[in-house]
Amino acid sequence: MPELLELEGLTTGYGEAVVIRDLSLTLGEGEALALLGRNGVGKTTLIDSVIGVTRRFAGSVRLAGVDLTAASPEKRAAAGIGWVPQERDIFRSLTVEENLTATARPGRWTLRGVYEMFPRLGERRANMGDQLSGGEQQMLAIGRALMLNPRILLLDEPTEGLAPIVIEQLLASIRRIIREEGMATIIVEQHAKKILGVTDRAVILDRGAIVHEAPSRALIEDPAPLELHLGVIAKQNQRSPAHAG
């Protein structure tokens, strides 16, 4: 599998504070990676480092062989990095359709494709962003990122705050985006077992460094590393679905 994203010796943070320390990671074309860890271990900072909004102390970022280390966030987006932030950041004063077309770029993903992936958005296309439920806003945020026609999609806590039934619907769509569309994806998630079923590989972060890396299937079959590195978070995921999310 050709490498699409390559992070080498990356050390980044905010201001004088170092959060990510000498981290190296690769992601192949069409591969899906779960980025796991407790709160505050550097998951979002690593995503921020890929999109280019952190301070870099050392290391490099390459996408499809192109060095983006010194590139601005705008140039990284133009190069093919799509991002869905934890806060979603949809345009609340625009309609669903205006949100989707505001920053669209030519490619496979069009309004029709997004509406086929998320039929609820098609039904709500004339509604304003602030009239949507949390699940609909997350669908819109993902759809808007897809309309940029990226080469890689970064999802930061996509299931946070959503009801269990909405989470299942959203994960089914993410699985289709990965498996049927072949979209390389990194998914940040605190609750590991929600996302391991849709990813190929997982890394666990602690204190800004990778402490464990394994195929997702291996962690499903043997969750001991999740217990070791995530502790109570992994145990919480063993509760009934009514308590998930």
The domain spans of the chain are 3-80+151-243, 90-146
d(CA 37, CA 94): 35
d(CA 27, CA 1): 9
Q: Could you read off the pLDDT of 142-172 as tens digits, one per residue?
A: 999 999 999 999 999 999 999 999 999 999 9
The pLDDT score that the predictor gives to residue 29 is: 96
Select from 108, 75, 95 the least CA-distant residue to 177: 108
Strands 3-14 and 66-67: unpaired
Assigned token pair, 205: 């972060």
d(CA 146, CA 140): 10
Assigned token pair, 58: 């050392």
* Residue 103: pLDDT over 90: no
What are residue 9's phi and psi, to 5 degrees?
Answer: 55, 35
Beta-carbon neighbour count of residue 196 at 10 Å?
Answer: 25
Strands 184-189 and 201-206: unpaired
Q: Mean pLDDT score of the chain, rounded to an integer?
A: 92
Distance from CA of residue 184 to its chain's centroid?
10
d(CA 180, CA 98): 26
**Exposure b/e, 77-92, CB count within 10 A at least 16 = b:** beebbbbbbbebebbe
What is the DSSP secondary-structure string of 138-177? HHHHHHHHHTT--SEEEEESTTTT--HHHHHHHHHHHHHH
d(CA 134, CA 166): 9
Q: Tell me, what DSSP letter sits at residue 131?
A: G
Q: Which residues contact 78 (CB under 8 A, 6 or more apart)?
A: none
Whole-prediction pTM: 0.91
Mean pLDDT of 44-49: 97
Assigned token pair, 105: 């770029």
The pLDDT score that the predictor gives to residue 235 is: 43
Mean pLDDT of 60-85: 96
The CATH number for 3-80+151-243, chosen from 3.10.450.50, 3.40.50.300, 3.40.50.2000, 3.30.420.40, is 3.40.50.300
The pLDDT score that the predictor gives to residue 1 is: 58
Percent of the chain with pLDDT over 90: 88
* Cα distances (Å, whole numbers) of residue 37 to 25, 30, 32, 145: 16, 23, 17, 24
Select from 197, 205, 214 the least CA-distant residue to 233: 205
